[in-house]
Structure formats: structure tokens, C-alpha cells
Amino acid sequence: MNTKIGVLVMSYGTPQSLDQIEPYYTHIRRGNPPTAEQLKELKDRYEAIVGGVFPLRANTDNQVVALQDTLNRLNPYGDKEFVCYQGLKHASPFIEDGVEAMAGDGIKKAVGIVLAPHYSVMSIGGYIKRAEAKAAEAGIAMEFIRSYHLHPKLIEALAARVSKKLDLFEEAGAERSKVRVLFSAHSLPQKILEMGDPYQDQLMETSRAVAEATGVNSWQFTWQSAGRTAEPWLGPDILDTLRSLSQEQVEDVLVTPVGFVSDHLEVLYDLDIEAKGIAKELDMRLERIDSLNTDPLYMEALSDLVFQAEEKE
Ligand code: FEC
């Protein structure tokens, strides 16, 4: 009989209905409930994207299914089978539920991977810490993938999306070399820099690699989706960057959110509604690359990483 290797696929999590937004937001705020005003503002954003549906839910489900299929299709071992379990940071099934489900199925060895390519102690570090603690309690030996921001298949998948959209700009009459490619990612509090966190450097490395792979010279990196807290967050924010680009007479912008791998609020609202709205006011054309979602190359990249981690165990 084949040995079952567990794969804990971790992702941010999203509510499943409008009435779950409050507990979800409270969880993100480490148990502090949002004010009525903050809650309304978040509900309004979810309603604006798809009217009460939460795309990240189905997208994460699809990614987990696609990853399990890819793992078992490319499986280089004759005596092992890979079984994926979901573990979400801020919604059910939580990271701890995923580890418990593996233990319940008798899994003894597992690999943990996050559906986000760049390491920060405040993002991936947090996922791993929770999974490690629960795995130790459940008696599962786990190996973790901390980042994969330069995996060649990830870069290839992102580069293909950038090229496809640049072709569309050209077809619409724009000069390819004049389209400004704006790589973006979720901002984090500035204090991560004093902590020597690799997040910013990894994001720059991904951006540079995609620019090189696509022959793009006119590019820059910008932050997006900063939290609504009093402390300083990494900037410039994309909305300010768009205003500066307008002063530089840039007319065409291709947003490439390298820190996200799925369609969700931070892409569908922060970029497609908010950033596009500002671009319109500034008389700029703003497009964004399609999200990776279940892109086969992305699934292959994740599978390679799982196999490598499994060999280390
Ligand atoms: O579609 C959805 O339902 C969820 C979209 C979503 C993703 C996501 C990814 C990341 N976040 C990261 C860091 C922070 C920090 C705070 C924070 C707050 C929020 C709020 C919402 C939210 N995040 Fe998120 N994030 C998503 C959604 N995030 C909603 C709360 C309202 C707001 O501030 O907009 C601040 C927490 C605090 O108050 O202390 C920090 C990072 C990522 C990318 C890596 C990953 O996916 O884990 C980093 C998707």
C-alpha cells in the first residue's frame, strides 16, 4: 500500500457569507472587533466586487484540487500518494483544522506550503508557526516551504501573463515600450524592514525576474492594500504611484500583482475598482494581468517544491 504524504495547503481565507464578515474581520484584528464604521466599509467592498459572493473561497478550493491532481500526476515515487488538506489563516477550515484532519487520517509525514510566494515573518512566518505548533501536538513530522518567489515556473507563468497584456496594449495602438509595468504586493508595516525581513527584497527579485523574462525596461514596484492602522506602512501606495505617473505623462499602465496568486478582494476591489477608478480620473489606461488561480505552470511549481521538501524529510 502507498504511504500517504499530507500536503497542508495554506491560504488567507475569506468569509462564506455577509454575516461572517464580522467574525472574519475580528480574527484578522487578533480578536478586536471592528467598529461599525470599519465593518460597513469592508462589507461595502465585498458587495462591490461581486455582490455577496466571496471569490477566494472557490478559488482556494480549486487550487487545492488542482494541486492534488498535479502532485499525483507528476508523482516521481512509486510508493507514495499525496493528499492535500486546506488550512486557512483567518477562516474555516483553519490551519489547525487542516493539521487535525491529517492526523485523523493517520498521516505521519506532511509538507506545508502557502499560496503566497514571498516570505515575511508577518505573513508566511505566521502560517508556519501555527501549523508547526499543531503538528507537534498531533505527532506529524512536517517540512515547510518558506518561499518560492524565483521558481522558474512561477516566473514563466507571470511573464506569459505580462506579455499577453502587453500584446493587447499594442493591438490597441499603444507603444509597447511606453507601457509602465507596475509590480505590486500587499503592503506591510514599515517595522518589518528594521527586523531584516526578506519580504521587500524577494518582491523586488520576482519583479526584476519577470521584467527580464519579458524584455520590459519600463517598470517599477509599488505597494497596495495597506492596512487601516495608525502605524506607518510600506509605501508608496499604488494610488499615489498612479498620481506620480500621471505627472510623468505616463498614459498606459499594466498592473502585475506578483504578491497574489488568486482573484480576491485585494485584486478585484483594490486594483480593479479603486486603482482603475483613479486611473480613469487621471485619464490613464490601466490593465491588470490575469491572476494565476489554477494555472498549470503554477501548480507544477508548487508540486516541484512539495517533492523537494518531501525528499528532505
Ligand atoms: O478576498 C478575501 O476575502 C480576502 C482577501 C485578502 C488577502 C490578503 C492577503 C494578505 N494580507 C496581508 C497582510 C495583512 C495585514 C493586515 C491585513 C488586513 C486585511 C483585511 C482584509 C484583508 N486583509 Fe490581508 N488580505 C486580504 C484581506 N492584511 C479584509 C482587514 C481590512 C483591511 O485592512 O483592509 C492588517 C491586520 C491588522 O489589522 O493588524 C498585516 C498579507 C497578504 C498576502 C499574503 C497572504 O496571502 O497571506 C501580507 C488575499
Q: Tell me which of 17, 20, 28 to substitute to probe ligand 1's pocket, judged by most ligand atoms within 8 Å of the beta carbon.
A: 28
Any atom of ligand 1 within 6 Å of the Cβ of 186: yes
CB-based contacts of 234, cutoff 8 Å, min separation 6: 187, 188, 189, 190, 192, 193, 200, 223, 226
Distance CA 210, CA 215 (A): 8
Q: pTM here?
A: 0.97
ipTM over 0.90: yes
Distance 213 CA to ligand 1 centre (A): 29
Would 3-148+294-312 and 152-288 be classified into the same CATH topology?
yes
**H or E element in which residue 181 lies:** strand 180-186
| Domains of the chain by residue range | 3-148+294-312, 152-288
Q: Which fold has domain 152-288?
A: Rossmann fold (3.40.50)
What pLDDT score does 53 carry?
Answer: 76
Beta bridge mates, 220: 182
What pLDDT score does 51 carry?
Answer: 66
Known binding residues for Fe(2+) = 186, 266
Rounded to 5 degrees, what angle do the CA atoms 33, 38, 40 make? 110
Low-confidence ranges of the chain (pLDDT < 50): none
Distance CA 71, CA 137 (A): 27
* Phi, psi for residue 234 in degrees, rounded to 5: -65, 135
What pLDDT score does 312 carry?
Answer: 81
The type of residue at 218 is S
Any atom of ligand 1 within 6 Å of the Cβ of 234: no
Any atom of ligand 1 within 6 Å of the Cβ of 56: yes
* Phi, psi for residue 161 in degrees, rounded to 5: -70, -40
Strands laid side by side in the 80-88 sheet: 80-88, 3-11, 109-114, 141-144
pLDDT in tens, 141-176: 999 999 999 999 999 999 999 999 999 999 999 999
Q: Tell me which of 225, 263, 264, 272 to substitute to probe ligand 1's pocket, judged by most ligand atoms within 8 Å of the beta carbon.
A: 225
119, 202 Cβ separation under 8 angstroms: yes
Distance 168 CA to ligand 1 centre (A): 31
What pLDDT score does 1 carry?
Answer: 74
The Cβ of residue 212 has, within 10 Å, a number of other Cβ atoms equal to 12
Going by DSSP bridges, is the β-strand pair 285-288/252-257 parallel, antiparallel, or unpaired? parallel
Q: Which fold has domain 3-148+294-312?
A: Rossmann fold (3.40.50)
